[in-house]
A and B are shown apart, each in its own frame.
Chain A
């Protein structure tokens, strides 16, 4: 295949830059709800995406792997790239050592044997039964999603990589009910690896029980009052905050469009306790977050990019094009979800590095505030304003964790919030890998997290 694609690359002619991406994806999905198998499906999605830069980007994709179909796609991409008549002054030169060559596997043991589909169905079924083990549970859903990817990426400047990825999501939803009122709770995990890797930390039964227990507890919980408050954000909410409200504003395409981080390189944008990175490589031993990306879809090797260092904004996240436009080096963040998508600037694993305080110390120093746990969705704007939901909230009085309150949303301006950070914990997790990040009609598997942070936000309670 590689030799065949290499040969096709020779047909590009005069281009400033060109790439061929072959991507064969197998997506497996199993959903069990209230004892019924709701989904039991396998989707095969395979093809070649061709992208060239002449006067603008031209992109064409084909699901047919026949030589004629690929040649037609190359011609289509070239025609499209010449449509804009004004030529742009742009260079795609990158240091040779940043170009990916060879075989890349994530996880490294990707070729080790996996359990069968029947066994997977059995585990999902068992977990779902466990959720419904209490009379107060009205409904339960357990969902398994797996992406098995095989890719080749070849570029006109010499990148030639073969990549194999495996990513899995395991999600549990419990719905508890009393009279007409319902309350739900979620537990989920998404990693680079296989289904059984998820259960190395917690068994399926344990995950099921946590979701069920919380849904029941939340049903009885009162609403928190609204207003400004000191809060301790858990790692999943820190992950959500730095991904949605900071991360997107440092993606260089959005920087060029006027996002909040524009023109702020080397300026203080957060408390000096904050060091924020985006890292496509496995960040720490034995952690295999869902956003691992050894090579990006422009054939650039992944790296650990320091976005904020001790409160100072140090770098944006780049593709080849944005790096040229802003006079930087590509950071390996150009990603395409499937062969038929163009690579755009995306995050990988985005997290705040751990600090020096213990979680207990942080709680102890909080006189009047809240502990916010478990992300439950949210959105942010390019001006850094965000609105996130936490599923479980605890009142903190005089350094003691008190009663459980119902989940609600909280909001603020992300950079302002990061300036209010007083304490950062040693305790650290990357755990928001279940689900997808959407940008510009395209999905991506990403992950994020960090330590516990003490900061100030606005709570939208009742």
Chain B
């Protein structure tokens, strides 16, 4: 890590010497092992080292960015010069600035020292175990793809205002996907996935079983019927509905006028039982880190609290525009300028087991996966259902060929039940979500 910090320091000093008003260097370096499963077998084993430097420079309020994945001095010098020349050509923006130094508290449990020696053999063993478990679960299981990835990664940030930080992290991610086949029937695709930071947390069997169970359960599906009413969404499906809403609380969307949530802080936008938090300081969190892409610690906050829109997420540039401090949500790596993103999202659980929600439903639909592209601007969504079930008097029967449609902003007020259980879903960002029951949704079927 000392190496990374001294390289970043070198880049910043060089940029300052070339007369940049402000300079920032972000460096990352890591080793990755990856085992790929395809069909019935191990397809490949991969090992690589990755490095990268992303350099930002401000000159006369113009901002430039250049990056390279080659950390030789000569390349660093080129990138420093490029970023400055891009800054000189840029349109000036009075809000371009970098953050000053702040106290950073180290987030625990992000790095597994024992994983330093994690070998190719062990990665292969885990991948094989995941594959075997899925196969042995049921002969009707079809495996499409699987992955086991180990990353040992470190990052460092230095800017000319005194920010200086470095951090190490380890991560194991694994997933398996496919479907089930019986006679002519092939179900839609299902997957199981997990990410953990420590070797002793790895549980590939669990993930394989979740995938296989989901696929087998949806065999024997019949065409669903059109209706208007209750839908219960799994945590995976909930994620698809909530993430576009989250994209509308990013200060960039709010300030640029594309967010329907602009100017609505303090307004009741959802039912009282809905609370969504963002916390990037959770020990061991998949989205956790002691500091963000700009060196600012992520501030834990409520996005929606008891139905009330409570906060937007900021990086330094968007915060400066409103004369406030960044909330520490600058995101991204060495290859691009900082964007804004949530860290770890948590939807507060309810008090009923999800099975009770189903049992108490006379007529409704259960949705495992939602293939939807909600439009975050208008809020309209309409999506095909994967792993759909018809609920009748508390009994679930698999169905297919149905679409659910509505508006993501409007359905926030149609939530009529939240489960006690929550699952960590690894979508665009990690989100711990319960099952959500909603009313008055329109289903198009046969």
A residues within 8 A CB of B373?
Answer: 376-379, 387, 389, 409
Which of B180-188, B205-213, B390-398 lies on the face that meets chain A?
B180-188
Q: Does B86 touch A at the CB level, under 8 Å?
A: yes
- Determine whether the beta carbon of B188 is less than 8 Å from that of A80: no
CA distance A258 to B400 in the complex (A): 19
Verify B380–A138 contact, CB threshold 8 A: no
Say if the beta carbon of B139 comes within 8 Å of chain A: no
Instruction: Please indicate the chain B residues that have their CB under 8 angstroms from the CB of A461 in the complex.
Output: 382, 405, 444
B442 A83 Cβ-Cβ under 8 A: no
| B65, A56: Cβ atoms closer than 8 Å | no
CA distance A226 to B64 in the complex (A): 48
Given A64-B70, A175-B257, A411-B384, do A258 and B65 touch, yes or no (CB 8 Å)?
A: no
Inter-subunit contact B47/A175 (CB<8 Å): no
Set of chain B residues within 8 Å of A56, measured between Cβ atoms: 41-45
Given A83-B124, A184-B378, A257-B178, A41 contacting B66 (CB threshold 8 A): yes
Q: Quick one: given A44-B69, A376-B373, are A84 and B45 in contact (CB under 8 Å)?
A: yes
Contact A36 B93 (CB under 8 A): yes
**Given A61-B48, A342-B46, A383-B188, are A44 and B226 also a contact pair (CB < 8 Å)?**
no
In the complex, which of the residues B39, B91, B145, B187 contacts A121, with contact meaning CB atoms closer than 8 Å? B91
List which B418-446 residues lie within 8 A (CB) of chain A. 442, 444
Q: Answer yes or no: B67 CB below 8 A from chain A CBs.
A: yes
**Which of A60, A181, A385 is the one whose CB lies under 8 Å from B46?**
A60
Evaluate contact between A409 and B403: CB separation under 8 angstroms: yes
Report whether over half of chain B's contact residues are helix, strand or loop; otherwise say mixed: strand
**B63-A382 in contact (CB<8A):** no
Complex Cα spacing A42 to B83, Å: 8
Of the residues A57, A73, A139, contact of B256 by C-beta under 8 Å: A139
A37 neighbours in B (Cβ, 8 Å): 62-63, 90-91, 93
- CB proximity of B186 to chain A, nearest CB, Å: 5
Separation of A332 and B93 alpha carbons in the complex (Å): 47
Interface residues of B in 55-88 (CB under 8 A from A): 62-72, 75, 79, 82, 86
Of the four ranges (under 10, 10 to 19, 20 to 34, 35 or more), the interface on chain B belongs to: 35 or more
Q: How far is the CB of A8 from chain B (nearest CB, A)?
A: 17
Q: Tell whether B375 is near chain A: CB-to-CB under 8 Å.
A: yes
Q: Mark A4-24, 1 if CB is under 8 A from B, else 0.
A: 000000000000000000000
Q: A60-B47, A257-B145 are in contact. Are A34 and B69 (CB under 8 A)?
A: no
Which chain B residue has the least Cβ–Cβ distance from A125? B91
CA separation between A442 and B60, bound complex, in Å? Answer: 38
Do A46 and B403 touch across chains, with their CB atoms under 8 A apart?
no
Nearest chain-A residue to B128 (Cβ)? A84
The interface of chain B, by Cβ under 8 A from chain A, is 36, 38-39, 41-51, 62-72, 75, 79, 82, 86, 89-91, 93, 120-121, 124, 142-145, 147, 178-179, 181, 186-189, 226, 256-258, 260, 335-337, 371-373, 375, 377-378, 380, 382-384, 386, 400-401, 403-405, 442, 444
Which 5 A-B pairs have CB atoms at the shortest separation, nearest pair first? A57-B44, A387-B384, A460-B382, A460-B403, A41-B65
Excluding A139-B256, A460-B403, 8 further A-B contacts by CB distance (< 8 Å) are: A41-B66, A45-B335, A56-B44, A57-B43, A57-B45, A80-B46, A377-B373, A409-B372
Residues of A within 8 A of B (CB): 29, 32-34, 36-37, 39-47, 56-65, 73, 76-77, 79-81, 83-84, 117-118, 121, 125, 138-139, 141, 175, 177, 180-184, 226-227, 253-254, 256-258, 260, 340, 342, 376-379, 381-383, 385-387, 389, 406-409, 411, 440-441, 458-462
